[in-house]
Structure 1
């Protein structure tokens, strides 16, 4: 009897517990439905601009204009190099340091300007750089001593370049995925086109209106091009306002990214050497005076192909594989063309071939960054990448210039020794790119 009574009393208890569970589930469902209704009433988060499309290519055009006015001006430094050698009693290595300082300041500011883009957006950063670049060229037009040239064209213009370059190279990359390599190649073509136009324009202006007004006209061109880039470029991801602008160096813990930085650093010791010195070598080889001013524009014009075609290839084979080939072929061109050149035809071939490989070197490298570092904080990662380039940017051309004495009887021996140095450095860079590629993905046939 007792057991039956227990079962009888237990049955209502189980029924009550089941009922309470059902009511609890109903309450939970009701609460969830209320949450959904509340969320539906909240304002939706703004959608990101779509990848690819007209807007994306407009951003790429803005980046193109910014690089035309900054890196394009640097690619045309050979015209100034030739002029300064005639005007000032100094060595080729010293003059090369002006262009080297310009590049070094660009890269030294990379982590800070890149981080500033992530925090404040591109417009404020590019606008600041536009003012600095224009002011520095106006001051350069008034210089009369080589130390003043160092301050204006080397130091101040390099700082302004840093504020313009990193937003222009990083912002368009965030608007592309499938055609990112081609888009970055198009942006870097601004530097190549600038390298074609600036030397021709400066050579003509220096002869016809003198140094002062040729530099002031250049300042107005920079103001218009960088001003247009300021108006056009917009961030795809909202700026992280309120965060610190101190650079984030945590990416350096990633071995594949660190190897890429070292490859870039060593490669920059070689990259600008032939570009800065090819015009003075043409003079030392006795190339016709009517042709000499066009040697550097030929190099930069051909580099347009070296930027676009490898950019398209990198979308299929992967940017790291393509950049490895660009490094290796650059070394081959120096050993096979620069070193044995001894006449007008040889220097023309060197200009054309090195234009292709150097164009590929510059255009494919930025595509490696999102692959290794990820799309987040893309401007900061670009800043870190190019920050590691400043030693090569500063000392690379000048290091080769130590061997070069354009007015000496054995001037060609100096150019050849500098070529051996540059070629070996590019081979070392190639080896480090391979290490970075294998650390990222050990599959040899992967499109990385």
Structure 2
């Protein structure tokens, strides 16, 4: 007895049709197959970007490698990771290598294991991609080493801004290479060390009063980093040093004026005394002439000659003593003392001025000596005591002599 075909009501048929179309598995299977087939066609045509998009969509819908029926008894291998690797190969060889490794890990080659030709192609493609990726890594490493060397050279040349940009680009392009990050960290330390060294050079130049050099160095620091913290301090040090020099010059000018005035007054006083002495000598001579026999005719004026000679000696001694003040004013009391002792004028060592100058020269020699000699100090004290004995009311002018001379004179007198 033959079985009659079973007919379903139209409503049931429509329900089954809607239910079948709503099954997610059927829709997904149809979707990934379509994208995979389109991707293979685009890959064959050389459209790798389009093929990559289709293979990625197929992989999103179904990531499991399998064989699917094309028509009748014909089957095709669904290997999404392998196909994605092939699509990536001319676009990004490193991504292609990553996907060929994913294909191996997912055992996609197992799906085509019994198909020798396809399996051989799979292995050939895998070897080619891996070899190309290795060559790419070597090329990138070489490029990295060159760029790293260039960045380091910029740092060695103290081109800190350029070095920073070079290292930053290396960090961006090679995020997995720690050398780039380390190099970037070196820039700030090297820059700070260099700026501190330059600041020290500027300070040394200021101490040496080489202000032009100091200002040049400060300008170089500003060009490297205008915000460097020591710039303002260095500029103020130059201002202060120049002001101190100007103040010292003014003080020296005033001291010289006082000294000149003192010398002028001393010269006037000496001239007055000379005239008084000459007048006294003439008076004494006249008195002697009145109490003795009249001089023979044509007898030379002995007294006038002696007086003139004495005046010449005084003038010569004064010039010689003034000459010894020159090395003393230059800060060389030892030379001044030597020149003083070389004066060969009769009665020089008995002069008040001679003893005074000898005392202050000895005192100055002791004061400026790196290894002071107490014997020199005793000699100075002896000369000054003799000056005080010869002229008890003598007092050195504090506007002319240094403080240590005034203090020593006062201590010796007490």
TM-score grouping bracket, smaller chain normalisation: under 0.3
TM-score normalized with structure 2 length: 0.26
TM-score normalized with structure 1 length: 0.25
User: Over alpha carbons, which structure has the higher Rg?
Assistant: 2
Query: Structure with the greater relative contact order (CA < 8 A, sep ≥ 6): 1 or 2?
Result: 1
